[in-house]
Structure 1
Amino acid sequence: MRKNSIKNTRVNAEVQRELSTILRGGIKDPRVAPMTSVVAVEVAPDLKTCKAYISVLGDEKAQADTLKGLQSAEGYIRRELAHTLNMRNTPEIKFVLDQSIEYGVRMSKKIDDVTRDLREEDD
């Protein structure tokens, strides 16, 4: 697997920043949850495709609805990216639901439960 170049890392950061700005202010679709954040972005080296990892605060229905809303608004999002970024190609965006934050919170809660149980056994 190839290591990301400095240029690719900069493009990823710029696209992530602009995507989060667009999601915060531009999307009017009611399916998109208000607490939606862009966790990471991976733009292909040829700038044709892009994976945007999205985190949604809410239940599974809110996550699924947000993903559908973002997929239907992809044309608008690409157009806004093309206006704000000066890139050779505006990448085709694929939205991927990222549940790593939710997983981390769940694991932290389990660890806290186990340590609390161990303390109670010691007392």
Structure 2
Amino acid sequence: MARTAANGKKIGTPGQRQLRVGELVRHALSEILARGDLREPDLERVVVTVPEVRLSPDLKIATAYVMPLGGQNPEGVVAALDRHRKFLRGEVAHRINMKFAPDLRFRVDTSFEEGSKIDALLRSNPIVRQDIDAPSPDADEDGPDDARD
């Protein structure tokens, strides 16, 4: 059973404000990276995606999970973004309306790899694969309830 705080919220889950500010930071970072404002050789010919930004409960630290499109040299991309952390923080501060801009930390996003591993595990079991490949009963559009002539 999950632990809950006095206010009824589950402990360890991000609050609504954390999620909202995380999305604002994610949009701002994505816009900055898409415009190509950084003059960095490791980022010149790379499209960087920012699938998620998680904020600490006090909104002081934002951890941005980034992945270069194609998965080429993700550690180099993270290192390049770390070198420009102060510039990026200032640009994010201009785009979001908060009293304090959060400190930025960058991590490689591994969620796609983990999803692929889970998918491969599910498909390796013949019984599970049979269930996955079978058409769902909702896929039939002309069911007996729909026929009213």
TM-score by length of 1: 0.77
- The answer for the alignment partner of 1:85 in structure 2 is 96
In our comparison, the structure showing a higher alpha carbon Rg is 2
Instruction: Answer 1 or 2: higher relative contact order, Cα 8 Å, separation at least 6.
Output: 1
- Alpha-carbon offset, residue 90 of structure 1: 0.7
Say yes or no: does 1:12 pair with 2:26: no
AA aligned to 1:14 is L
| Structure 1 unaligned blocks of 5 or more | 119-123
- Alpha-carbon offset, residue 3 of structure 1: 2.8
Quickly say closer, same or farther: Cα 1:17–1:59, change in 2 above 3 A.
Answer: closer
- The answer for the alignment partner of 1:102 in structure 2 is 113
Q: Secondary structure at the match of 2:38?
A: coil
Q: Secondary structure at the match of 1:96?
A: strand
Which of residues 20, 23, 29 in structure 1 aligns to 2:33?
23
- Alpha-carbon offset, residue 108 of structure 1: 4.5
RMSD: 2.5
- The answer for the alignment partner of 1:52 in structure 2 is 64
- Alpha-carbon offset, residue 107 of structure 1: 5.5
Which of residues 58, 72, 84 in structure 2 aligns to 1:73?
84
AA aligned to 2:90 is R
TM-score by length of 2: 0.65
> Could you report, residue by residue, the CA deviation over 1:43-99 in whole angstroms, capped at 9, with x for unpaired residues?
122221111111123456x21211111000111100101111111111111101012
Q: Percent identity?
A: 27
Which of residues 24, 43, 48 in structure 1 aligns to 2:55?
43
Preserved CA contact (<8 Å) 2:56 2:62 = yes
**Aligned pairs, how many?**
116
